[in-house]
Amino acid sequence: MRNNTYPSIRQDRSGLSVLSESFPTKNLGSEKEVMEAETSRLLNRWSLSGTTALVTGGSKGIGHAIVEELARFGSAVHTCSRHEAELQECVQKWRGCGLQVTGSVCDVSSPAEREKLMKEVDSIFGGKLNILVNNAAFGYRKPALEVTLEEYELTVRTNLDAGFHLSQLAYPLLKASGSGSIVFISSTASLLGIDTLSVYGATKGAINQLTRSLACEWAKDNIRANCVVPGLIKTPLSQWVSISHTVAPTLVGKEEFKAVCARSIPIGRVGEPEEVAALVTFLCLPTSSYINGQVINADGGVSINGNAR
Ligand SMILES: NC(=O)c1ccc[n+]([C@@H]2O[C@H](COP(=O)([O-])OP(=O)(O)OC[C@H]3O[C@@H](n4cnc5c(N)ncnc54)[C@H](OP(=O)(O)O)[C@@H]3O)[C@@H](O)[C@H]2O)c1
């Protein structure tokens, strides 16, 4: 219900929550005015209104949920992926809901395409970027001895080189915004040894450390860097991942797999993309202004579970 005295959240045409713009201040006692100002300040700390964001890999899975959540919090978001038709379908759907989202095709494993992407972002957002989410990544699930040089190089180019190079390219835009936030998407494979995920896990471990270094180097420019570590999340990618190498990926969703999850993940289930997007969004909000250089898990507790599998 609309509150006429205090700032309120109202629903817009698409059913999205937005901050009410009318904050009546006349004829109010000074104590009430102070309260209103404080409430308004608090709500602004939990809003991304007026900010700009680039999220890589937004057409599916976790990236898709991140685009949606950032945009619902008021950010203008640009995203990319390799397949135009699927990407444009997403963008049209979001725009139809009143969200400010644009998209362009980019293979982040290519240095030239990364440069082209950042030029587009520069032009769309007028040289200012508040948020960069390095999300797009993939991996081969193979025993280390079977990984080819080509597979190794493509995994490193996509998961590590892209995040580093895009952060370099975004740096002037993040600095120009006056308040920049980089979020890397890592994996529990960066923390735990997992058979058949050696190269993927190594790229994610490097991402964790890159986060800490950039956080120290760029804080003076008002750019924070943090890293979110998802556990097993229900996405197209996780079709090839399973919580235990003893369980075939084809069992994801089946009873045997559920039993393994119940034993391994204290919360007892696979996560949803929105449960990762919520943490990413929190790290981009003004309210997290003192959180910098952190590697934070959204994994249902799997990485701290000392009980036998
Ligand atoms: N799902 C999990 O259980 C899980 C667990 C831990 C960590 N993660 C991490 O979470 C992130 C997202 O994973 P996800 O499960 O959401 O993956 P996903 O379902 O496979 O989606 C990946 C997204 O990235 C895009 N993408 C992939 N390669 C790309 C490239 N070279 N250039 C540009 N876009 C590319 C894909 O679109 P196109 O294919 O059309 O390019 C898609 O939009 C990754 O960093 C992953 O390592 C996931």
Buried b / exposed e along 229-264 (16+ C-beta atoms within 10 A): bbbbbbbebbeebbbeeebeeeebeeeebeebbeeb
> Tokens 């069992």, residue?
251
Asked whether 50 lines ligand 1 (CB < 6 A), one says no
Average pLDDT over residues 209-231: 98
Say how far apart CA 208 and CA 235 lie, in whole Å.
22
Rg of the chain over Cα atoms, rounded to whole angstroms, equals: 21
Q: Using N-to-C axis directions, what is the helix angle for 162-177 and 198-218, rounded to 10°?
A: 20
Asked whether 114 lines ligand 1 (CB < 6 A), one says no
Average pLDDT over residues 39-68: 97
Per-residue pLDDT, 27:
59
The catalytic residues are 200
Tell me: the pLDDT tens digits for 255-301? 777 777 778 899 999 999 999 999 999 999 999 999 999 999 999 99
pTM (two decimals): 0.90
Q: 90-99, 146-155, 234-243: lowest mean pLDDT where? A: 234-243
Share of the chain above pLDDT 90, in %: 78
According to DSSP, the residues that pair with 233 across neighbouring strands are 271
Asked whether 187 lines ligand 1 (CB < 6 A), one says yes
Q: Is residue 21 predicted with pLDDT exceeding 50?
A: no
Q: How far, in Å, is the centroid of ligand 1 from the Cα of 60?
A: 7
Per-residue pLDDT, 271:
94
Ligand 1 closest atom vs CA 60: 43
Which pair of tokens denotes residue 111? 């240095």
Q: Is residue 2 predicted with pLDDT exceeding 90?
A: no
Is-contact 60 80, C-beta < 8 A?
no
CB atoms within 10 A of CB 275: 19
Confidence of residue 11 (pLDDT cuts 50, 70, 90): very low
- The residue contributing the CA closest to ligand 1 atom 37 is 81
